[in-house]
Amino acid sequence: MSTDAEYFAYQMKYDTVHGQFKHDVKIGEKDELIVNGNKIKCIQASREGPKALPWKDMGVKYVIESTGLFVEYEKAVGHIEAGAEKVIISAPGKGNLKTLVCGVNHTEYDKA
Residues 40 and 53 in one domain: no
| pLDDT confidence of residue 1 | 44
What domain count does the chain have? 2
Residues 36 and 69 in one domain: no
Interval 19-28: pLDDT, tens: 999 999 999 9
What is the band of 3 on the pLDDT scale with cuts at 50, 70, 90? low
Domain range for 23 is: 1-44
Residues 109 and 55 in one domain: yes
Residues 40 and 55 in one domain: no
Residues 54 and 7 in one domain: no
Helical spans, DSSP H, in the chain:
5-13, 55-58, 73-81
Identify the CATH number of the domain in which residue 71 sits. 3.40.50.720
Residues 22 and 67 in one domain: no
Within 10 Å of residue 51's Cβ, how many Cβ atoms?
Answer: 15
| pLDDT confidence of residue 30 | 85
| pLDDT confidence of residue 26 | 93
- Percent of the residues in the chain that have a pLDDT greater than 70, as a whole number: 97
Residues 26 and 54 in one domain: no
Within 10 Å of residue 5's Cβ, how many Cβ atoms?
Answer: 21
Higher pLDDT, 58 or 47: 58
Interval 53-76: pLDDT, tens: 999 999 999 999 998 999 999 999
Residues 32 and 85 in one domain: no
